[in-house]
Structure 1
Amino acid sequence: MNDELPNDQDEDDEPTVLIEDGKLVCPYPDCSATDQIIELDVATRDNELCVSEDGAIIAHLGDYSFESDGFECQQCARRVSLPDGYEIVHS
């Protein structure tokens, strides 16, 4: 796979996702996958444990929080960044 960075970016910079015709496009020229950008996050959950009548340990889903850890193209598995001025809305 060709790992050349688009737009003469430094190695430490994550190239910016392109938006074409309302779709997210991987910025790497050797990939250019459409709508394959994902958010990576880290989750912390507090789940209360108990033992059921049949002896199984059950985890009751409790409080949780998520923190974004960046973005990646699912097709080529390389990190990318979002364009300036865009906000992520979780649904």
Structure 2
Amino acid sequence: MVRYYIVVDGRVQGVGFRYFCQMNALNMNLTGWVHNMSNGMVEMEVQGNEHVILKFISIISKGNFFIKVTSLSKKEISMIENEKKFIIK
């Protein structure tokens, strides 16, 4: 189990990106949160099995018809015990 702090840039606000992340995270049994930043980027923390998180990152990086990710950075951070869900802040 690992936890990553991720910052995503591109067309990621006003296009359902946070809900897209939440839907995929819940489907993959990942926990954490996602939040719009004031600079137009989106930040999130994601926790779970590392290979599942890497698959999650691949999916959200591809986006959909509305979402266009231009850059994504991640760093490993400390895990949070007993976290149950992936929420939108």
Q: Give the TM-score category using the shorter length.
A: under 0.3
Q: Which has the higher helix share?
A: 2
TM-score (norm 1): 0.27
Larger RCO of the pair (alpha carbons < 8 Å, separation 6+): 2
Structure showing greater radius of gyration is: 1
